[in-house]
Amino acid sequence: MNGPKLIIALTKGRILQETLPLLTMAGIEPLEDITNSRKLLFDTREPAVRLLIMRGSDVPTYVRFGSADMGIAGKDLILEGGSEGFYEPLDLNIARCKMMTAVPKLYRPSSGRLRVATKFTNIAKKFFAERGQQIELIKLSGALELAPSLGLADAIVDIVDTGKTIKANGLVPQYTIADISSRVIVNKAAMKIKTALIQKVLVKLREVVEIHSADKAEH
Ligand code: PRP
> pLDDT tens across 54-87, in order?
999 999 999 999 999 999 999 999 999 999 999 9
* 1, pLDDT greater than 70: no
Own/partner pairs, 24-32, CB within 8 angstroms, 24+ separation: 25/208, 25/211, 25/212, 26/201, 26/204, 26/205, 26/207, 26/208, 27/204, 28/201, 28/204
In the chain, the domains with their CATH numbers are 6-95+181-218 (3.40.190.10), 97-179 (3.40.190.10)
Q: How far apart are CA 158 and CA 165, in angstroms?
A: 10
Residue 122 CA to ligand 1 center (angstroms) comes to: 18
Q: How far apart are CA 1 and CA 144, in angstroms?
A: 48
Nearest atom (ligand 1) to Cα of 14 = 17
Please enumerate in sequence order all residues whose Cβ is within 8 A of that of 136, keeping only pairs 6 or more positions apart, or say none: 113, 114, 115, 116
For atom 2 of ligand 1, which residue has the closest CA? Answer: 159
Could you give the count of Cα atoms lying within 13 Å of 99 in the half-sphere of its Cβ? 22
Per residue in 173-197, pLDDT (tens digit) is 999 999 999 999 999 999 999 999 9
For atom 18 of ligand 1, which residue has the closest CA? Answer: 142
For atom 15 of ligand 1, which residue has the closest CA? Answer: 159
Nearest atom (ligand 1) to Cα of 162 = 13
Please enumerate in sequence order all residues whose Cβ is within 8 A of that of 124, keeping only pairs 6 or more positions apart, or say none: 116, 118, 135, 137, 157
Residue 158 CB–ligand 1 contact under 6 Å: yes
Residue 196 CA to ligand 1 center (angstroms) comes to: 37
For a substitution probing ligand 1, which of 80, 123, 159, 171 has the most ligand atoms within 8 Å of its CB?
A: 159
For atom 20 of ligand 1, which residue has the closest CA? Answer: 142
Residue 2 CB–ligand 1 contact under 6 Å: no
Residue 191 CA to ligand 1 center (angstroms) comes to: 33
Tell me the CA distances in angstroms from 142 to 47, 80, 107, 215, one per residue in order.
40, 16, 22, 34
Per residue in 141-174, pLDDT (tens digit) is 989 999 999 999 999 999 999 999 999 999 999 9
Position 215 confidence tier, pLDDT thresholds 50, 70, 90? confident
The verdict on pTM exceeding 0.85 is yes
CA-based radius of gyration for the chain: 19
